[in-house]
Structure 1
């Protein structure tokens, strides 16, 4: 940024006279952010409208937003930066959150434990000992699991639609440059087509289910939403389900890819997890609440490799951030990855130590943000933690995981953080029943 603005804006790198910091950032995103953090501190400017925050207290303040000064990330291609519309959409989403929360809390999520394990077994057994791409396999599992949770018997076709969304958004993850929506680029046309198909498909399911009448007891999340009081209109139901499907698919899949990498690299840990599972319910898959080691492994993976490694908020009015004045329209990017690895908050921050979560030990202050914080904390966090804990335990209980590139498949800082190109073979463990019963809630 220009030196003359340092008194008004946080300090930051000058960048190229025309392209700014984008080329250097896109070449090595986390390396660029580490260098800026070392040189400029916990708050630094990326350009005239963008500020990065690596301070946990400030990050928590932005996420909790007691002054309601920030909105969540603006819609793609919103080059006009319509902040009024973003505020209105944010208020509608908060209202929808209050309606849907009881259908996603710990009690409701526990009811899906059995189906989670059943779906995981089906997906992994289909690989039949073959070497597979781990992230693709985990996406198949999480897409099937979240579709089943949301739609039950009407979930057919939804996992494929979620895969189409992943592919349609992939070209946008590799660059920070954004072209106008009106340009007839192939990636634009594909994204709009998949978005339209997703909205039409979900809207059709919602309308058909509503027309069929309310069931005596909810069988899935859609039933729950249709029975909400006050009644949610179909567009609100569709939009809520779409958000849950997208978050409940990509985030846990990325986390599971990192978990599989740790299990493949640490056979002793995998054996301890298997022993925990076997000791809990005599060889069957136990409920998530009985798996403290598996839960600790999940928490530690989410610390070291948070799938949501960047979070964006936009100021919709002038606000102070740690003594720095922000203007309406300024973007604040929060970085859980660097916060989670900061030695000021975490001892031995770059080491994988599930023991730091022993006996339910909490995170230090506000320095743990895998699901965000405050009133907009990830709506599906309880469901995701249960799914990840059960999947971690079940994989270790039933399989020996071999990976030929476990040492070289490094995380990719594009979209959701996950190891790139990780491949593995899930071999049935000797003496472990492939037909072990799923858990009861």
Structure 2
């Protein structure tokens, strides 16, 4: 049934939304698809919606002005919210979940690793990983692109962030998946299920946590035996060196490194997987992408200068992230009472912003469901509301690794498009799955064909 978007009201009125008696219906929609329930709420009630969930009430806002207020203008009033609070049981106090002075200290420790000059210096390693990936795809013929992109991004992070070969840890991918599944389970159940219960998911998580502690300990031991470097492990070792509680220092290192590696590889792998799905759906876009890659690579190995020439490749990625942002939800909790878009928000309220919905807002995007990389040309982007496109967040918590992620995604996409054409298996259905990141459920099976 087609519904009409209602304009957001003003004047401090109560937010529109379904009655509290509709809690079970809302929960049912949420269990079926977290993306669809957000889309339904925005379509039915407008840009500001109150969603009852039993004893809780969610305050969902879906306008660039709302995002600007919560993420930038009054960011100090908002802490990490629904999902992230409960995911702390699985992820610990890493950069993704920590708050206050701990978060600021962690950010200062990590920030130099992502300095633009240092990231530019990693281009050779990223290009080498992309060439190895392309060779693997060419040799295998039929692949799960989600698995391949995960392997690639872990390889990049190993070389650029921790100065180690993560490929030697065969279990790391499965351990990361178990941690993410537990984090999502904790978010959905609001952390009410004890971790010690012998549920299969929780048993896998406990094994994964032990495995990841072993991996972090080995990385730290190996790194400590070498001269201190500019990698993240060296900086984390230094940051906990004077901890009075050495066990607490080890746990903090594990939490921080696991968070960085999990978020760092998962977001980029998700973006690339969605990009190859969209390229298969839009062969004319692939043709332009391929032609640009052939022309740029004809000048020799990628340099920082030639990387900037991959303008259409960057547009393809920007449009992919618009439609399928890896971070699809930004939950916050209001410290003190506030007003957003003319609506009162009480202290302690769970406030939700969704880049997935904001990027499809018809007031700010023409034909929002259409895949059109040309909407990111300089001319088309001029005058666009800054907060209508927030794939990396905004304000103080703007994603620290966005430059590295976009560089590796650009290099990988161009390198593969230069040599290969990938198509989905006949009848393969792509369904989005809103986990900690927005994934393709069950992976993406594709057939590889050489084009040069």
Q: How is 1:338-357 mapped onto 2 (pairs within 5 angstroms)?
A: 338-357=357-376
Cross-structure match for 1:14: 19
Cross-structure match for 1:103: 113
1:53-92 residue CA offsets vs partner (Å, 9 max, x unmatched): 211211222122535111124443679xxxxxx9974431
Cross-structure match for 1:51: 59
- Residues 26 and 87 of structure 1, relative CA distance in 2, 3 Å threshold: closer
Kept in 1, the 8 Å contact 2:175–2:211? The answer is no
Cross-structure match for 2:145: 134
Cross-structure match for 1:82: none
Q: Which whole-Å CA distance do the structure 2 matches of 1:159 and 1:103 have between them?
A: 26
* Bigger mean CA offset, 69-78 vs 364-373: 69-78
- The Cα of 1:171 is off from its aligned counterpart by 6.5
1:111-160 residue CA offsets vs partner (Å, 9 max, x unmatched): 22222222233234234142112212211111221122222235344573
**Number of aligned residues:** 416
SS in 2 for 1:49: strand
Structure 2 gaps of 5+ residues are 1-11, 90-95, 244-248
- The Cα of 1:315 is off from its aligned counterpart by 2.1
Q: Does 1:150 align with 2:161?
A: yes
SS in 2 for 1:401: strand
Q: How is 1:252-401 mapped onto 2 (pairs within 5 angstroms)?
A: 252-282=268-298, 284-287=300-303, 288-359=307-378, 361=381, 363-401=384-422
- The Cα of 1:291 is off from its aligned counterpart by 0.8
- The Cα of 1:429 is off from its aligned counterpart by 2.1
For residue 39 of structure 2, the aligned residue among 34, 39, 59 is 34
SS in 2 for 1:21: helix
Q: Which whole-Å CA distance do the structure 2 matches of 1:328 and 1:189 have between them?
A: 37
Q: Does 1:205 align with 2:248?
A: no
Q: Which whole-Å CA distance do the structure 2 matches of 1:37 and 1:76 have between them?
A: 25
Q: Does 1:424 align with 2:432?
A: no
Cross-structure match for 1:170: 181
Cross-structure match for 2:202: 188
Q: Which whole-Å CA distance do the structure 1 matches of 2:73 and 2:426 have between them?
A: 42
SS in 2 for 1:355: helix
Q: Which whole-Å CA distance do the structure 2 matches of 1:329 and 1:159 have between them?
A: 43
Q: Which whole-Å CA distance do the structure 1 matches of 2:287 and 2:75 have between them?
A: 48
Q: Does 1:116 align with 2:126?
A: yes
TM-score by length of 1: 0.83
Structure 1 gaps of 5+ residues are 1-6, 80-85, 431-441
For residue 411 of structure 1, the aligned residue among 428, 432, 435 is 432
SS in 1 for 2:50: strand
SS in 2 for 1:387: helix
Q: Which whole-Å CA distance do the structure 1 matches of 2:330 and 2:270 have between them?
A: 16
TM-score by length of 2: 0.81
- The Cα of 1:258 is off from its aligned counterpart by 0.8
SS in 1 for 2:308: helix
- Residues 339 and 111 of structure 1, relative CA distance in 2, 3 Å threshold: same
Cross-structure match for 1:63: 71
Kept in 2, the 8 Å contact 1:12–1:40? The answer is yes
SS in 2 for 1:98: helix
- Residues 15 and 224 of structure 1, relative CA distance in 2, 3 Å threshold: same
Q: Which whole-Å CA distance do the structure 2 matches of 1:398 and 1:331 have between them?
A: 47
Q: Please provide the CA RMSD for this pair.
A: 3.2
Q: Which whole-Å CA distance do the structure 2 matches of 1:28 and 1:303 have between them?
A: 19
1:286-326 residue CA offsets vs partner (Å, 9 max, x unmatched): 34322111111111111111111111112233333333333
Kept in 1, the 8 Å contact 2:87–2:184? The answer is no
Q: Which whole-Å CA distance do the structure 2 matches of 1:67 and 1:177 have between them?
A: 27
- The Cα of 1:230 is off from its aligned counterpart by 11
- The Cα of 1:383 is off from its aligned counterpart by 0.5
Q: Which whole-Å CA distance do the structure 2 matches of 1:364 and 1:310 have between them?
A: 19
1:351-404 residue CA offsets vs partner (Å, 9 max, x unmatched): 111112123835433100111011101110011111111111111101121222
Kept in 2, the 8 Å contact 1:277–1:286? The answer is no
Q: Which whole-Å CA distance do the structure 2 matches of 1:169 and 1:428 have between them?
A: 35
Q: Which whole-Å CA distance do the structure 2 matches of 1:212 and 1:223 have between them?
A: 9
